[in-house]
Amino acid sequence: MGTLFHTCDLSWEMRLLTASCACLIGFGQDFLAKHLLGWPTDGASHDAVGDAIKSLRLYRLHQQLSADRDRLAQTQARANGVYLSKATF
């Protein structure tokens, strides 16, 4: 019998419903890593290994937050607040 793997779309979990266009906006991996993990974004070229590490750390954060819905809501609000402070609609 095979192994069942669980997948999670972190950009969907951290999405934002904007009032200005009534649409859902998903955050990219680099945005989430920078603002939720403090991961430096220095504009370096694409790094597949670095992307994999970011993905795993974001997944681990998601697993921790899934156990605490209040903390998840606070983290979503923080990401949304950062996005909205930089957005131009």
For residue 2, being part of any structural domain is answered with no
For residue 68, being part of any structural domain is answered with yes
Query: What's the pLDDT score for residue 6?
Result: 64
- pLDDT tens per residue, range 45-60: 778 898 889 888 988 8
For residue 5, being part of any structural domain is answered with no
- pLDDT tens per residue, range 60-84: 888 888 788 888 778 777 777 776 6
List the domain range (segments joined by +) for residue 35.
10-86
Q: Provide the 8-state DSSP code for 1.
A: -
User: Whole-model pTM?
Assistant: 0.67
Query: What's the pLDDT score for residue 27?
Result: 75
For residue 3, being part of any structural domain is answered with no
For 6, phi and psi rounded to 5 degrees? Answer: -95, 135
Q: Please say if the pLDDT value at position 31 is more than 60.
A: yes
Q: How many CB atoms lie within 10 A of CB 80?
A: 18
Higher pLDDT, 44 or 52: 52
For residue 50, being part of any structural domain is answered with yes
Q: Tokens for 84?
A: 């909205």
Query: What's the pLDDT score for residue 47?
Result: 83
Q: Tokens for 57?
A: 């750390």
Domains held by the chain: number: 1
For residue 4, being part of any structural domain is answered with no
d(CA 17, CA 42): 28
